Amino acid sequence: MKLATFTAGERPCVGLVDDEGRVRTLRGVLGDAPLIEVIERWEELGPLIATASGLPVVDAPRLLAPIPQPRRNLFAVGKNYRDHVREFGRSGYDTPDRNVDLPSRPVVFSKATTSVTGPFDDIDAHPGVTSELDHEAELAVIIGPGGRGIPRERALAHVWGYTVLNDVTARDLQRDHGQWLLGKSLDTFAPMGPWAVTADEIGDPARLEVTSSVNGRPRQKASVADLIFDVPELISVISSGITLLPGDVIATGTPAGVGIGFDPPRFLRPGDTVECAVSGIGTIRNTVRAGTG
């Protein structure tokens, strides 16, 4: 099933997205429980949602990120598609410079919770902070049952669902600070949505395809099967010494086709609109605005 977090002139609420893409409110079933609580209580609440009937359709809902306020930073993975490793290495933005070697272990970093924004909200260009804004379309994994030391062969049993994420990046901050947290974590740098799709509806995530476009021009396209470190491996590695919690988000990496992959680089500018999509889930669309940076 597809579950969205939305507002319609009232408090945020969880809704069920039907086959026509309409949002049906679950307030009568869930009350004011946010999606992260629904995930925590999935064994109890999942069957109630699945059997609910007569749910009212919401008129003109404003979609928020499925989990608008994660309990902690998002986990994210860099250099996880071969072609992107090469374009990133050639760009000179990697450390050490122009390193095109494939990583031997997942490159894991985090994005601040305050970077999360809605699937159709604006991206703040942060003028005065960065002048090299880039996009990264990604499949994001939402953890269900938590745990530590999760073996690869049982990892997918710990996935509650999936969503789409744009790992927006300030390339100059990423390069100049010698680490990725600041360049990845500015406010509005994690558009997410448009909703979350439960794992049972997706099945094998390797069959999905990740794409992006800027102002209608295609940029990225790759199969999730092309990941260097697949979803089970990422869950196993991250959980080896960190307890994963229900509602944790893992962004799995981006394919080639980002702005720094071009010569010269094609950075995002105010007015540009970025679309990121994952087949079987949906599309998010965000416009860059000058903001107040």
Give the range among 89-103, 110-124, 216-230, 278-292 with minimum mean pLDDT.
89-103
Residue 69 lies in a domain: no
Global pTM exceeds 0.75: yes
Is 102 found in the same domain as 40?
no
Is 112 found in the same domain as 24?
no
CA–CA distance, 133 with 163 (Å, rounded to integer): 22
Is 199 found in the same domain as 109?
yes
Nearest partner of 254 among 281, 220, 203, 229, judged by Cα: 220
Is 81 found in the same domain as 209?
yes
Question: HEC states along 81-106?
Answer: EHHHHHHHHHHCCCCCCCCCCCCCCC
Q: Tell which of 40, 64, 88 closes a domain.
A: 64
Residue 118 lies in a domain: yes
pLDDT of residue 127: 95
- Alpha helix ranges (H) inside the chain: 27-30, 35-40, 42-51, 82-91, 171-176, 181-185, 199-202, 231-238
- Looking at residue 226, the DSSP 8-state letter turns out to be G
pLDDT of residue 92: 79
Is 285 found in the same domain as 173?
yes
Residue 96 in this model has a pLDDT that exceeds 70: no
Indicate the number of domains in the chain.
Answer: 2
| pLDDT more than 70, % of the chain | 98
CATH number at residue 82: 3.90.850.10
pLDDT of residue 260: 94
Nearest partner of 227 among 93, 74, 77, 119, judged by Cα: 77
Give the structural domain span for 81: 74-289
Residue 221 lies in a domain: yes
